[in-house]
Structure 1
Amino acid sequence: MISNSLFDNTETAFRLKSDSELERAYFLFKMISKEPLVRIGTAVTKFALNVNLPVEGLIRSTVFDHFCGGVSETDCMSTVDRLSDVGVCSILDYSVEGKEEDAQFDATAAKVNELTRFAQNKKAMPFSVFKPTGFGRFDVFKKVTKKQALNETEKLQWLNIEARYDRVSQTAHECGISLLIDAEEYWMQDAADELCERMMEKYNKERPIVFNTLQCYRWDRLDYLKKLHKRAQLKGYKLGFKIVRGAYLEKENERALDNGYKSPICVSKKATDDNFNEIMKYIMDNLSDIELYIGTHNELSTYLAMEMMEEKGISRSDERIWFGQLYGMSDHITFNLGAEGYNVSKYIPFGPVKDVMPYLIRRAEENTSVAGQTSRELTLLKKERARRKL
């Protein structure tokens, strides 16, 4: 029987945090809970970095060290080892965003390959990851999605994107490391999905190596999953999916309104939750064909997944099901799952401080806009502070 108070155990949740790290986390989430402060703080930080003010040390010792593992993969290894000691795996995420040049995209793909090989003989690092727009320009993905004609330069850029996808997928296949491909905005996602499907068909013959991501705030994702499942069965390959709720809600709704098309986003939070849980159930019902990575900070969906596993007699350590949360968030879910023997991991962003700032700013803005997320973090941190004082 699954206890519905498992995630209230703050002693396990914050076992790796020193008193000073606990205080820093409390301070950061207190700041993030105030939307005007987040707006001002992000604007000031962008300005300070753009004009090369000496603020990297301050950023590094506060928000960067809380949400990131370090500036390099080697820098992250002490965190990877500490997490492994308490039953939590790590996914190193090279979180450099907003690049525009082919040489930069080649460098990112080379870094993903390097990380995959780095993870090959490390049990605590079962996954590699990349973001589609880390491998090519957003506008090229967008034009391919809209089936618009590409000019000669764009055709070459698209061929290069395909080649980068193939290189990293082949490396993952050779190393036996699963490769998680993140999802992005609706208006470029079809192109990314098609590329990912081709990689699945090529490299997922024996087991899922390449995983796509389903953003479950999109009402069309269950239907997409079912159709792809049929295609994969006919062609004889396996599927892997990371499921998340989604990260671009306001932007997606605004764009749909501005461009006069039906929003791709579910009409309500409840509809999104129901869609997430339905997709999770569909995959759990088809584990012989599809492996599942449950990327969520939602406690109710996590409890539901645990109950489904128990009802179906699925072992907590079954390698076909993984849970995951972002580093610096929802430790009460991650560490309590790890203590109970579930497969669970932390996404650990890393990279040069200046290059990772777009990721960190997005993280702060998302926390501000997700009702209840920050207040739950603060409540648990307060509870642990009080427990330690006693």
Structure 2
Amino acid sequence: MAASIFDNTERAFILKSDSELERAYFLFKMISKEPLVRIGTAMTRFALNAHLPVEGLIRSTVFDHFCGGVNEEDCIPVLDKLYEAGVSSVLDYSVEGKEDESQFDACLHKVLELTDFANEKDAMPISVFKPTGFGRFAIWEKKTAGVTLNPEEQKEWDKIVNRFDQICKKAKETDVAVLIDGEESWMQDAADDLVADMMAKYNTEKAIVFNTLQCYRWDRLDYLKKLHLEAKVKGFKIGVKIVRGAYMEKENDRAKAKGYPTPICANKAETDANFNDTLRYILDHIDDISVFLGTHNESSCLLAMEIMKDKSIAIDDKRVWFGQLYGMSDHISFNLASEGYNVAKYIPFGPVKDVMPYLIRRAEENTSVAGQTNRELELIKAERKRRKI
């Protein structure tokens, strides 16, 4: 059964109408062609910046496929439909690139609201935010580099710490896990240290606060092992989301430009091995470490299922979650959910213009993972044939 679990297209696309399936086919056909993605993203940026009336077109195509809506209320029908099919949701307020204190405070209030919202909705057991949603990238970068902050910068940093603490405290009070996204390596050490402090404070009984390990970095398993030792000494549980990673080209380009060894694995095979080794380590220490597997890789999902079976970890053990992005890899999400595993879709939402940087990155990432896009197309074609569309 395991080898073919992800081939069941009837389950995979159970929530898609014929017209939505046709839209998915059209979008993935477009995404599979790199020149079209480059032209399309450039035209979209231009049209939005020039205030051309294209939001309706974007909303009815790429936005509605990959996003839940423009606000929380807009997302409720999506959350409810997913939950009826056994899939939970992680609402991700995907507004990026903000730089001033009022915007950071607005992001804080939004994440607090979302955590309360999650507390009221069984369909939403998890909340999420990005470190740079709560403070300027430059501050994170200086802290990571060990540069002494001036008094004004120190005030900014203190506000960042306070924002983190407010969210993690709320998460503990509401029993809603909070995933803290990983970002670029040259700001990540400061984020790692702050998240570890939050874990020590709030993960006393179980994992509430989760850090993100981007496993295309060859040092992440060693980092996790050191964190594990710290957790044992201080008496806290670890929560980690493991992903392959989202900033590879930027990381390699910066390392080359500045003349330091790249933090990124040499190739995809090494990244896959690093991800799977990290997964094995976590499941070997499930009493200490809870995991959210953020992956669209079928082999890694099958490996997790196999290890869970070998170690007699119940398929619905709340310390193990599988997660995929909304609009992608439904064959993984819905087939795992149908077997009883804990599955959540990451659902970005926000104003169309503000969410476009996220959507453009998704499209660009998909063109660089040709096998994945081809797999999506193959499955959609199979379902169209099954439905005789």
Same fold (TM over 0.5): yes
The answer on whether the counterparts of 2:215 and 2:244 sit within 8 Å (CA) in structure 1 is yes
Whole-Å Cα distance in 2 between the matches of residues 370 and 199 of structure 1?
A: 34
SS at match of 1:22: helix
1:210 CA displacement: 0.3
Letter in 1 for 2:64: D
- Map 1:125-144 to 2 at 5 A: 125-144=124-143
Q: Which residue of 1 aligns with 2:15?
A: 16
RMSD: 0.9
Q: Are positions 1:115 and 2:114 aligned together? A: yes
Segments of structure 1 that go 5 or more residues without pairing to the other structure are none
Per the normalisation by structure 2, the TM-score is 0.99
Whole-Å Cα distance in 1 between the matches of residues 274 and 146 of structure 2?
A: 28
The answer on whether the counterparts of 2:211 and 2:240 sit within 8 Å (CA) in structure 1 is yes
The answer on whether the counterparts of 2:32 and 2:370 sit within 8 Å (CA) in structure 1 is no
Whole-Å Cα distance in 2 between the matches of residues 151 and 389 of structure 1?
A: 66
SS at match of 1:59: helix
Q: Which residue of 2 aligns with 1:97?
A: 96
Deviations 1:272-314 (A, max 9, x none): 1111011001110111111011110000000000000111111
SS at match of 2:61: helix
Letter in 1 for 2:263: P
Q: Which residue of 1 aligns with 2:238?
A: 239
Letter in 2 for 1:128: S
Whole-Å Cα distance in 1 between the matches of residues 288 and 244 of structure 2?
A: 22
Letter in 1 for 2:118: A
Letter in 2 for 1:335: F
Q: Are positions 1:186 and 2:185 aligned together? A: yes
Higher mean displacement: 299-308 or 143-152: 143-152
Deviations 1:111-142 (A, max 9, x none): 00000011113221110000111111111111
Letter in 2 for 1:170: K
Q: Which residue of 2 aligns with 1:149?
A: 148
Q: Which residue of 1 aligns with 2:296?
A: 297
Q: Which residue of 2 aligns with 1:218?
A: 217
1:267 CA displacement: 1.1
Whole-Å Cα distance in 1 between the matches of residues 372 and 140 of structure 2?
A: 32
Q: Which residue of 1 aligns with 2:194?
A: 195
Whole-Å Cα distance in 2 between the matches of residues 234 and 156 of structure 1?
A: 31
Deviations 1:68-95 (A, max 9, x none): 0000111101011000111100010000
Whole-Å Cα distance in 1 between the matches of residues 72 and 141 of structure 2?
A: 31
Q: Which residue of 2 aligns with 1:366?
A: 365
Whole-Å Cα distance in 2 between the matches of residues 179 and 65 of structure 1?
A: 25
Letter in 1 for 2:337: G
SS at match of 2:92: strand
Segments of structure 2 that go 5 or more residues without pairing to the other structure are none
Q: Which residue of 2 aligns with 1:267?
A: 266
Whole-Å Cα distance in 2 between the matches of residues 143 and 46 of structure 1?
A: 31
Whole-Å Cα distance in 2 between the matches of residues 192 and 63 of structure 1?
A: 32
1:169 CA displacement: 0.6
1:250 CA displacement: 1.1
Whole-Å Cα distance in 1 between the matches of residues 53 and 267 of structure 2?
A: 43
Whole-Å Cα distance in 2 between the matches of residues 364 and 388 of structure 1?
A: 27
1:106 CA displacement: 0.6
Matched residues, number:
389
Q: Which residue of 2 aligns with 1:40?
A: 39
Q: Which residue of 2 aligns with 1:80?
A: 79
- Map 1:282-361 to 2 at 5 A: 282-361=281-360
Whole-Å Cα distance in 2 between the matches of residues 249 and 136 of structure 1?
A: 23
Per the normalisation by structure 1, the TM-score is 0.98
Whole-Å Cα distance in 2 between the matches of residues 32 and 138 of structure 1?
A: 30
